[in-house]
């Protein structure tokens, strides 16, 4: 079994699409995914997207940063962010509303 590639992943998650940028020691890549549904909790959707990218490209996500449309104060509790880190398989995560990051 090959070791996963250490990576930093940044996600700009809007309602029309998610722009994902991945940086490893060797390269930088981008991917587009479907947008977040703001009628549902958004952090689990970010975790799922990060896990999808990690599995598709055999990545070990060390750092995950996400600017997210529809992010609410209730979703940014320490427990919610910790759940995001676990679901994404990341070592660290930073999240903000996309109005802050766009």
pLDDT at 14: 95
Q: What are the distances in angstroms from CA 79 to CA 55, 76, 92?
A: 24, 8, 13
The number of distinct structural domains making up the chain is 1
Q: Is the dihedral of CA 65, 32, 90, 58 positive or negative?
A: negative
Domain range for 12 is 5-23+32-101
Taking the whole predicted model, whether its pTM rises above 0.75 is answered as yes
d(CA 35, CA 15): 4
Kind and range of the H or E run holding 12:
strand 5-13
pLDDT at 1: 57
The values of phi and psi at residue 73, to 5°, are -55, -40
Write the CATH number for 93: 3.30.420.40
| Mean pLDDT across the chain | 92
Res. 87 pLDDT band, cuts 50 70 90: confident
Res. 102 pLDDT band, cuts 50 70 90: low
């Amino acid at each position: 079994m090959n070791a996963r590639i250490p990576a930093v992943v940044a996600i700009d998650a809007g309602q029309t699409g998610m722009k994902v940028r991945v940086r490893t020691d060797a390269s930088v890549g981008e991917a587009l995914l479907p947008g977040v549904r703001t009628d549902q909790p958004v952090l689990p959707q970010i975790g799922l997207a990060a896990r999808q990218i990690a599995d598709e490209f055999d990545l070990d996500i060390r750092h995950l940063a996400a600017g997210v449309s529809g992010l609410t104060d209730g979703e940014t509790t320490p427990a919610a962010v910790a759940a995001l880190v676990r679901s994404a398989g990341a070592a660290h995560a930073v999240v903000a509303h996309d109005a802050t990051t766009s």
